[in-house]
Structure formats: C-alpha cells, structure tokens
Chain A
C-alpha cells in the first residue's frame, strides 16, 4: 500500500502536498504553521495557543456567522491545535466544498489583522482560562505534562513551559502580542498546506494558486528563544517530585527520560522499545506489573514526537488502591535494566514491529489523519514521502540498537519521577 503524493512550493514559499483518495466524497484541508509554544518568550507563555483561538474569530472577509459555522453548515468539521513545535488547523468537508475551506484558510492567512478586536480577544482569553481550569486544574492529574516538561527540560529550554501557559501570562497578554505573533509566524513561508481525499488535482492547484498565491513571502523566522539543544543531552541526575492532591482517586506514577529528538535513529529505537515494553498485553511491563505482580492498574509507555533538541521517553502507571508507587517504580526500572543488559528477544521485537505496522496503517485510513501526517512530515523534515518509508526506519532497528538506547539513556542519571498521591487514606466505603 502506497500513499500517493504530489508536492510543490508556491512562489511565496508555501509548501503544498496533494494526496488523492476518492473512496468517500470528503476532502481534508490541513494547514500546519511551524510555530508552537517553543517559540514563546519568557512572560508570554500560552500565547501560541491563545493565538490559535483568535484564528477562529474571523478575518477581513469572513464575518458573521464565522469560520466554524460556515464549515459546520457545509457539512464539515474543523479544529485547530497547538503543541510544542507546531500549530495546526484542519477543515474536513464534503468534496464539493473544497473552495470554501481554501477561502477560509487563506483569508485568515492573508487578512487576519484587520478583523482583530479587543472584545473578541477578551472573550477568548476567558475561554482559554476556562480551558486551563477544566483540563489542567480541575481534572485529576491534569497538570502532569506541565510538571513533567518542567522537570525534564532545563529552565532555558523552549519545552520547559506548557502549551496552555500560566494564568499570570494569559492575563498579561495583549492585542499587540497577537498582532506581532501573526506578523512574525503566520506567513506562507512558515506553513504547509495539505489536501487529502476526493479532489481533482488540476482544479486544486488552480484554487490554491488563486487563494494563497498572491500573499507576499514573510520575513525570516526568528531563532528559537533560550537554548533549544540541551547540552549535554542527558539530565545528569535524578529529579523527583511528589504531589499530594485530594482530587486524585488513585496514586499515579509518571517516569520520564530525556532522549534524542524525533527523526533521529535513536528515537525510533525508543519508540519501538515503548511498544515492546507496554504496547499490548503480551509485553513485559503489562505481564509483570499488571498481570503477575499487580503493582499497576494499567501501564503505558510512549515517546513525545518532538523535534527541538530532545524528546522524552515516558512510562505511566496507575497504582492500585492500597498499592505502593515505589514498588511499581522499582519493577519498571528492573525491566528496563534487563533490556539494558540483555536486550529484547527476537519474538518481542517482531511482535512490536507487527503492532506498529498495523497501527500505522489503521491510523492512516482517515484522509484527515493522512493529511495531518503529511503536513507534519513536511513541516518537520521537508519530506512528505516519509509517510511511505517511516515503517522502514522501525524495521531497521535491531535488538542491539534497543539495548544500547536503554543503556545510554534510560538510566538513573537521566530520569524524572513524578508521583501523584492522595493526601491521606480515606475511610473505607
């Protein structure tokens, strides 16, 4: 199975990826801007995400009822999301509405500033603060990633702070910040546009040129703030934190190690290791910590697919009522030590690859997912073809690569342990 790809670049630097599939009369329009929370300056945390909210508040030619209502009434759905390295926007619409999606996305790329008002900004600031309250402050373990980022990455690294940002910085943000952010980062030469699904390629090229072609190339993108590459890559010690929180129904453990970024060969070894440690019920961690020793109620391992200097390898486990977070932690370290010493066996390497392969293909079924992956690979690596070769990178990993990765990076001198605990034992119900 091969995903077809046609890529080109407009005069103004906008990179375009086209991928046809006529199974359903739906087209996914996906736009990535190469800017995320990593680009935020000190005192401006949360700005990239607050900005993303403002992108739905209209542009010069898109007034009432607004971007969202126009896509919904066309029978489409849409959203945007902000992460450490990027911000994405996507509209998935019936294929006869392709031009609507291109009109909407181009209008906010080209004519965003004239539509800004203080009133819209004030409302969206409140929405974002409520998003923070709901997701981070009110939800059990809701601040885990904020805490983990601060522990894994040094103060001057762009990943040290969370995407949602602090309440203080959100309160201090101004309309001028929004305008400046737009003029700096929301330029054609800092974006990737992908179409995936049911469209006519010649017609799509014509419409893209008409809607996006006239925009001038923007200025060069400023370098990232702080020190984007941690030097040395490893943390150099163990960092621990315990959080007592009455909202927490069960204790939970997060472990993290700093590893090379997404794209490096070691990253693929780490991702494969995550799969073979906890990807299914046949895995080492599931078998030992969940099924046999019952130290955990559910266990997971994963990597952050981030590209700025360093990524992280993570293990997350829920501690059963009356259980011991330290015992779970020790059991995880034991399995990792075993991998560092002996490496994985051939059967579990094969199984992990099979799992990754199946999931890769399943995930790409939806044109919207395919479009997002194509935009990502183009934004990060300038290479959408990687969608067809990414699995080869995993197949190239040997058992010894995994052993060396674990030995080099997953030791006590490079790890973070965050534990959520209940403040005190409650009366048994």
Chain B
C-alpha cells in the first residue's frame, strides 16, 4: 500500500505503457489468383471470414444500371447451390452465423462471424452463396421492389437527403461518385434478373479477390478451407472503368433541399476528399481529428459547447480508391442555420491559415494512436483491417506501424494537408431544412449563390 496522500488537484500521470502488436498477417495466393490473408487472435472462440470482391463494388455499376451491384449482393442469400431461400436461411440460422453481404464503392464483401466450432460448416455456406447463387425470379422481384422503396425512404431522412444532394454538387458530370451508391428509383426499378446473373458471372471472380480471416483460427486451417471450397473457382473480372475524379464546383455554393416546417437544418459542407492510399493520409487523419474528428474538436467545441446550436458536429474524409467526399456534418436548430454555416466555413479557413498548436497536435496524435487498439478488439474489427490492406494495396505490416506513422506527423504537415485538402471556397454547402425560413439569412451571408431543390426533382 502506498503511503503518499492522494493529490486530486493534478491529472494523474500515465503508468508504464504496455506494448501492443497488431497480429502478424499471413498472406498466400491460391493457384486461381485468390489472395488469402489471415490474422490470428485467440482470446475468444470466434472467427470471422470475409470474401472481398473489389471488382463487384459500387464503382462497377454503370449510370443507367446504378444499383445493380447492390441488388446482386442483396440476392446472394435468396438461394444458392441446392438450397432455396428458406433452406438457406435455416442452414445459416442453424449455425448461428451472422452472415452479411455489404457494398461499398470499392468492394462487395460477403462474410460471416461464427463460433469456432461452426466455422468450417459456415464456410461451405459462404462458398455456395458467393459462387452459386440461384437468383430466383420471385426473390429478384421482391428485392428490386424493396430497394426502390429504400431509395424513397432515404430521401425522407434529412441526413441521407443532404448526402445525396451533396454528391451531385461535389463531383462533376461523368464522375460515378455523383450518383447514390445504391442507385436511383428509376435505375433500380428497371433492373431485371438477366442483368443480375450477368453481373454475378462477370464480377464475382477469384483473380482480383481475397479471402480475409481473423480470430481463433490458424493460417493453415484457413488455407485448407479455401482450397477445399474455393480452389476450383476460376476466372478474372473485367477491369474497372474508374473515371478520374473532377470537382463539380468552381466556388462555394449553398443548396437548400427544401423540407417545409423542419425544426432543424441538416448541414453538410462537402467537397472532394482523398484517396485511401494517399501519401498524406496520416497528416489528413490528424487534421481531421483537430477540425472535427473528436468531441474536443474545434468545430464541436464551437458549435456545441460554446454556442449550444447542436447536439454535435463532426467532420470526415471518406477515403476511397479514388478521392471520396470530405464532409463537415451537423444538424442545428433552424434559426441558427446561417450562423452555423459561417462558423463552419470560418473554422475550415482558420485551420488553413496558421499551424495547429503543439497541444492540439499532441492531443490528436495521442488520440489516434491510443484509440487504435480499440478497433481491433473483435475478430470482425481485425478482418476489416485486413480487407483495407488488401483493397487499397497497403503493405501487410501497415497496421503494425500505424501508430508510429500517426505519431510522426508534424504541425507543418497538418498545415500543408489543410491547405491542399480543405476547400472552404469551393464547397457544396447543402442544407436539408425549411427554405422559407433559412433562405434569407443564408443569402445575407454573401458567401455564394443560394439554390433551392425539391427532393422530387432529384430524378
């Protein structure tokens, strides 16, 4: 027992730092070109397996068939191999698998987490679902209708509406990122089974894909499962079009998505962001943390803690294979809309004008480095990191050195990142709110033209 009396007036110093190592990444390639990445983590009797298909992400869609990649992924569980939809659902639930097919711009990912004892059986189902989906007519029809409805519903949610509108202004005509990832009611409504089947046949191929696995399982066990269930899977998908990303705006423009009677304004200050493999990714991460990435960020301390306008405000750089969207995001009381917008833009300008303070820099680096292990406490957390390594071509030891990379960022690098990556004078300021109330004050700000759009006119 210590005899020193407790001094509560000082922040306690940290104890000895305990080491942490990201699990070693084992990488192999099957003869059909499928990569296999495995990381062991054995504290719980659980394992996660994910098939990562970069050729089947949202970027593989065409404008007039937007939503096809998503519809295809959603139909994988509707029947596969010898099983119809009900039999497949029973097989999945019998094993207690949380099987999931997810779509991003850069991948379709199909995988599951299960108790170790059920992993091998689960893997057989995963292989069926990815390789031999049957796309029954009635299920295609049901999910097509559901997804059209989901597009409708999306526009009823202020945050989704604001994001959809923002993408249209952030990117120039001809850039795929301009359209919503899941497609439009018009494009999804026009999809049919033959297109789904053709998309699956062309894009679900092992040549550019990976199996990632993490948890209570060894690399040899995973390789064995992969050989057994995926070894005779063959073929290469078509190359992705990947049009170059060009910004849609020359100057900051305010766009109101009109919601009559709204008690709050949902605000997005958005412009082109960065690609995930960008060399200044760490500097941008630190920059974002200081601007709006944490509770004690400049934006949140100002709009929430000082002004009390909002429950919270944040910023993020959505990083994709090509530059995605930067957004500063909040939802504020209607009356404070114009002032909130001008404060958000002011914070974006100020962080480009002078270096962040030493304290801000140290806090942001310590936060990002310290929080990292929390993202890898679960098997799906670790498998997600493996998927990122594979999808964006990062080195296998990327996460082993992640914390060092973050800790090496300097104030000059943050300033440089702010000047190149934040565009307060070329942003789409999109507000889902009551145009009748907020339009006048926004025009009075004099920061750019003000347009009003109706959700129904978005096509």
The answer to whether A and B interact is yes
Check A76–B2 contact: CB distance below 8 A: no
Binds A, one of B42-50, B127-135, B225-233: B42-50
A26 at the interface (CB under 8 A from B): yes
**23 A-B pairs (CB sep. < 8 Å):** A26-B377, A68-B295, A72-B296, A74-B14, A75-B372, A76-B370, A94-B370, A97-B370, A100-B11, A107-B8, A130-B308, A130-B309, A130-B332, A134-B331, A282-B92, A297-B149, A321-B149, A355-B96, A357-B96, A357-B115, A359-B98, A362-B98, A426-B456
B85 at the interface (CB under 8 A from A): yes
Measured between beta carbons, the chain A residues less than 8 angstroms from B311 are: 127, 130-131, 134-135
Check B14–A247 contact: CB distance below 8 A: no
A126 at the interface (CB under 8 A from B): yes
Partner of B367, one of A60, A75, A206: A75
Partner of B115, one of A66, A96, A358: A358
Check A127–B8 contact: CB distance below 8 A: no
The interface size of chain B toward A, counting residues with CB under 8 Å, comes to 86
Measured between beta carbons, the chain A residues less than 8 angstroms from B378 are: 362, 365-366
Q: Quick one: CB contact mask for A394-429 with B, threshold 8 Å, 1 for yes?
A: 000000000000000000000000000000001101
Given the known interface contacts A92-B374, A133-B333, A321-B152, the answer about A103 and B93 at a Cβ–Cβ threshold of 8 Å is no
Q: Which residue of B lies closest to A211 (CB)?
A: B6
Measured between beta carbons, the chain B residues less than 8 angstroms from A135 are: 311
Measured CB to CB, the residues of B under 8 A from A are 1-2, 6, 8-9, 11-20, 41, 43-46, 77, 85-86, 89-90, 92-98, 113-115, 139, 142, 145-146, 148-150, 152-158, 185, 259-264, 266, 294-296, 304-306, 308-311, 331-333, 362-363, 366-374, 376-379, 456
Measured between beta carbons, the chain B residues less than 8 angstroms from A368 are: 374
Taking the nearest CB of chain A, how far is it from the CB of B143, in angstroms? 10
Check A72–B96 contact: CB distance below 8 A: no
Given the known interface contacts A103-B11, A127-B311, A134-B264, the answer about A351 and B94 at a Cβ–Cβ threshold of 8 Å is yes
Check A127–B308 contact: CB distance below 8 A: yes
Bound-state Cα–Cα, A122 to B308, Å: 9
Check A361–B45 contact: CB distance below 8 A: yes
Measured between beta carbons, the chain A residues less than 8 angstroms from B305 are: 123
Partner of A206, one of B1, B43, B306, B372: B1
Q: Which residue of A lies closest to B297 (CB)?
A: A72
Check B93–A130 contact: CB distance below 8 A: no
Taking the nearest CB of chain A, how far is it from the CB of B179, in angstroms? 16
From 363 to 408 in chain A, residues with beta carbon under 8 angstroms from any chain B beta carbon are 364-368
Check B77–A138 contact: CB distance below 8 A: no
Measured between beta carbons, the chain A residues less than 8 angstroms from B89 are: 280-282, 286-287
Check A358–B114 contact: CB distance below 8 A: yes
Partner of A320, one of B93, B145, B456: B145
Q: Which residue of A lies closest to B336 (CB)?
A: A130
Partner of A98, one of B2, B15, B41, B149: B15
Q: Which residue of A lies closest to B16 (CB)?
A: A96
The interface size of chain A toward B, counting residues with CB under 8 Å, comes to 87
Check B264–A282 contact: CB distance below 8 A: no
From 262 to 304 in chain A, residues with beta carbon under 8 angstroms from any chain B beta carbon are 279-283, 286-287, 291, 294, 297
A139 at the interface (CB under 8 A from B): yes
Partner of A23, one of B43, B96, B296: B43
Given the known interface contacts A291-B85, A297-B146, the answer about A249 and B308 at a Cβ–Cβ threshold of 8 Å is no
Bound-state Cα–Cα, A15 to B107, Å: 48
Check B149–A73 contact: CB distance below 8 A: no
Given contact pairs A130-B332, A282-B93, enumerate 4 new A-B contacts (beta carbons under 8 Å).
A98-B15, A130-B308, A133-B333, A249-B154
In this complex, which of A23, A111, A362, A368 has the most chain B Cβ atoms within 10 angstroms of its Cβ?
A362
A218 at the interface (CB under 8 A from B): no
Q: Which residue of A lies closest to B146 (CB)?
A: A297
Measured between beta carbons, the chain A residues less than 8 angstroms from B145 are: 294, 320
In this complex, which of A94, A123, A359 has the most chain B Cβ atoms within 10 angstroms of its Cβ?
A94
Measured between beta carbons, the chain A residues less than 8 angstroms from B363 are: 69, 72-73
A177 at the interface (CB under 8 A from B): no
Check A26–B152 contact: CB distance below 8 A: no
From 111 to 145 in chain A, residues with beta carbon under 8 angstroms from any chain B beta carbon are 111, 122-124, 126-127, 129-131, 133-135, 137-140
Q: Which residue of A lies closest to B12 (CB)?
A: A99
Q: Which residue of B lies closest to A68 (CB)?
A: B295
A210 at the interface (CB under 8 A from B): yes
Given the known interface contacts A24-B20, A26-B373, A210-B6, the answer about A362 and B308 at a Cβ–Cβ threshold of 8 Å is no
Measured between beta carbons, the chain A residues less than 8 angstroms from B153 are: 249-250, 318
A25 at the interface (CB under 8 A from B): yes
Partner of A1, one of B6, B13, B44, B86: B44
Measured between beta carbons, the chain B residues less than 8 angstroms from A65 are: 296
A341 at the interface (CB under 8 A from B): no
Check B90–A247 contact: CB distance below 8 A: no
Bound-state Cα–Cα, A60 to B9, Å: 9
A354 at the interface (CB under 8 A from B): yes
Bound-state Cα–Cα, A321 to B152, Å: 9
Measured CB to CB, the residues of A under 8 A from B are 1, 21, 23-26, 60-61, 65-66, 68-70, 72-77, 92-100, 102-103, 107, 111, 122-124, 126-127, 129-131, 133-135, 137-140, 198, 206, 210-211, 246-250, 279-283, 286-287, 291, 294, 297, 318, 320-321, 347, 350-351, 354-355, 357-359, 361-362, 364-368, 426-427, 429
Q: Which residue of A lies closest to B308 (CB)?
A: A126
Measured between beta carbons, the chain A residues less than 8 angstroms from B262 are: 138
Bound-state Cα–Cα, A73 to B357, Å: 14
Bound-state Cα–Cα, A427 to B456, Å: 9
Given the known interface contacts A198-B18, A206-B1, the answer about A94 and B373 at a Cβ–Cβ threshold of 8 Å is yes
Check A358–B17 contact: CB distance below 8 A: no
Measured between beta carbons, the chain B residues less than 8 angstroms from A127 are: 304, 308, 310-311
Bound-state Cα–Cα, A1 to B20, Å: 24
Instruction: List the 5 closest A-B pairs by CB distance, nearest first.
Output: A75-B370, A249-B156, A358-B96, A126-B308, A282-B89
Taking the nearest CB of chain B, how far is it from the CB of A215, in angstroms? 12
Check B333–A99 contact: CB distance below 8 A: no
Bound-state Cα–Cα, A299 to B282, Å: 42
Check A250–B149 contact: CB distance below 8 A: yes
Check A354–B94 contact: CB distance below 8 A: yes
Taking the nearest CB of chain B, how far is it from the CB of A299, in angstroms? 12
Check B1–A130 contact: CB distance below 8 A: no
Check B308–A75 contact: CB distance below 8 A: no
Taking the nearest CB of chain B, how far is it from the CB of A64, in angstroms? 11
Q: Which residue of B lies closest to A287 (CB)?
A: B86
Bound-state Cα–Cα, A247 to B366, Å: 42
Check B17–A94 contact: CB distance below 8 A: yes
Given the known interface contacts A72-B295, A92-B374, A139-B157, the answer about A130 and B14 at a Cβ–Cβ threshold of 8 Å is no
Q: Which residue of B lies closest to A61 (CB)?
A: B8
Check A24–B86 contact: CB distance below 8 A: no
Bound-state Cα–Cα, A260 to B152, Å: 39
Check B331–A73 contact: CB distance below 8 A: no
Measured between beta carbons, the chain A residues less than 8 angstroms from B97 are: 358
Check B157–A75 contact: CB distance below 8 A: no
Taking the nearest CB of chain B, how far is it from the CB of A234, in angstroms? 32
Taking the nearest CB of chain A, how far is it from the CB of B264, in angstroms? 4
Taking the nearest CB of chain A, how far is it from the CB of B254, in angstroms? 20
Measured between beta carbons, the chain B residues less than 8 angstroms from A358 are: 96-98, 114-115
Bound-state Cα–Cα, A284 to B332, Å: 42
Measured between beta carbons, the chain B residues less than 8 angstroms from A350 are: 94
Q: Which residue of A lies closest to B311 (CB)?
A: A131
Check A25–B8 contact: CB distance below 8 A: no
Taking the nearest CB of chain A, how far is it from the CB of B21, in angstroms? 10
Bound-state Cα–Cα, A210 to B5, Å: 9
